[in-house]
Structures are given as structure tokens and as C-alpha cells.
A = this chain, B = another copy of it.
Amino acid sequence: MHYTPSIIESWERFYRANFINSLTGFKSVSLIGTADVNGHANLGVFSSIVHIGSDPALVGYINRPRKAAPHTLANIQATGVYTINHIHPSFISNAHQSSAKYPAEVSEFDEVGLTREYIETIVPPFVKESKVKYALSLQEIIPIALNETFLVIGKIEMVKLEDNFVTEDGFIDLHLAETICSNGIDSYYHTQPAGRFTYAKPGSRPVKFQ
């Protein structure tokens, strides 16, 4: 079947959102923790975390238009710091619930049943239940004029995870950590390893080494 723009644009809004959101593949869904200038904690689920670079260590995410998702972006702009926390099987429904539109004065941590964790002097909370988490300092907010979204880029300032997830070459075994991925707007997945492959060079074939 070939789907053209005229077919896609004719669809009912939620049908189209499900289709387009799931077309791009499995996603790095995570919880972003922020605080406002009074230290009031906010938590949101974001599926558009994207690796920007390793040196410097930069991570981006796409923030929806301000009117649709105001609290996380406003807090990041106000404090310059935020946390990203992986999701695991034991709290998928709690994480999903953090996408509900709560008023600013309500903390999603309490509403969805996840625990704030404060580490060192970092202002925004981490998610205590998360086994892989990191803090970022805001570097740049790039407006995407095409649809009023934003690419928010942070530099990694601290990573907390269990040592045994890190293999001898620095790779983090997220299958061992039971990190969940997502697709579309409401579907979550476990993973099964299909192999790691050797560095690709012209004239040779990559070999599975794990």
C-alpha cells in the first residue's frame, strides 16, 4: 500500500497522529525532571530524546509547542538544569500517566506515584526508581518554525547508573538495565539483543561480537 499526503491529510486527527508517530521507529522514551525557581518539581514523559554528540556530550529532545507542553520548557529556561531518567517495566503505567495535563502547581511525581531523588547540589529531581539517569545543563533552545516545536540541547553534567551495566569498552547494556523503549504515543517495548557488530570498513564485512 502507498499512502500519499492527500490520503494522510484526509484521516481523522488521532488516526493520523497514531500513524505518523509510529512510522519513525522505536523511541528512547524517558522521564524529564525539572524544577521551577521555587524548587517545585515537575515530571514529563518524552519520547524524542536524541543523541547530538559525544565530545562535548550533548543530548537533545523535541519539546512540543509552548501551549501544548509549557511546564518542562519553562522550568528548563528558568533554572538551566534538568534530568533525564530511563523507564523500566515496573513503572511503565506511572511514566505514561505523567503525560496527563496537570496544572503547574501539581507535581506529577505525587500524582503518578514516582519518587523524587535529589543528588548532590543538582536542583531538579531525578526519578529514584530509574536505574539509568543523567543531569544536563541547558546549552541551546532551537525553535523549529515549521510547527512551533523546539529542539532543546543540553550538556551531560552527571550520570548515575549501576557499574555492572557498563561493558569493558564503555557501552551501556540497556537490555541488562531493562530500559524500556516506545513507539507511537502509547506503546511500550522490552528489547532482545540481536548482536553488536564490529566497526564497518570498506572491503570487509562486520562480524557479530556479542
Instruction: Assess A28 versus B25: contact at CB under 8 Å? Given A5-B157, A58-B146.
Output: yes
Contact flags A74-117 to B (C-beta < 8 A → 1, else 0): 00000000001010010011001111111000100001000000
Q: Cβ of A160 and Cβ of B86 under 8 Å apart? A: no
In angstroms, how far is the closest chain B Cβ from the Cβ of A5?
6
Identical copies in the complex: 2
Q: Cβ of A158 and Cβ of B195 under 8 Å apart? A: no
Most B Cβ at <10 Å: residue of A29, A50, A153, A169: A50
Quick one: which of B47, B99, B156, B199 contacts A5, CB cutoff 8 A?
B156
Q: Cβ of A174 and Cβ of B1 under 8 Å apart? A: no
Quick one: which of B5, B160, B174 contacts A26, CB cutoff 8 A?
B174
Q: Cβ of B171 and Cβ of A187 under 8 Å apart? A: yes
Interface residues of A in 145-174 (CB under 8 A from B): 145-147, 149, 151, 153, 155-163, 166-167, 169-172, 174
Instruction: Assess A111 versus B202: contact at CB under 8 Å? Given A1-B160, A48-B50, A179-B25.
Output: yes
Instruction: Assess A174 versus B183: contact at CB under 8 Å? Given A24-B51, A144-B52.
Output: yes
In the bound assembly, the distance between CA atoms of A190 and B113 in angstroms comes to 30
Size band of the A side of the interface? 35 or more
Contact flags A1-12 to B (C-beta < 8 A → 1, else 0): 111110011010
Q: Cβ of B49 and Cβ of A24 under 8 Å apart? A: yes
Q: Cβ of B62 and Cβ of A50 under 8 Å apart? A: yes
In angstroms, how far is the closest chain B Cβ from the Cβ of A107?
12
Contact flags A29-60 to B (C-beta < 8 A → 1, else 0): 11000000000000000011111111111111
Is A118 positioned at the interface, with any CB of B under 8 Å from its CB? Answer: no
Is A69 positioned at the interface, with any CB of B under 8 Å from its CB? Answer: no
Q: Cβ of A134 and Cβ of B195 under 8 Å apart? A: no
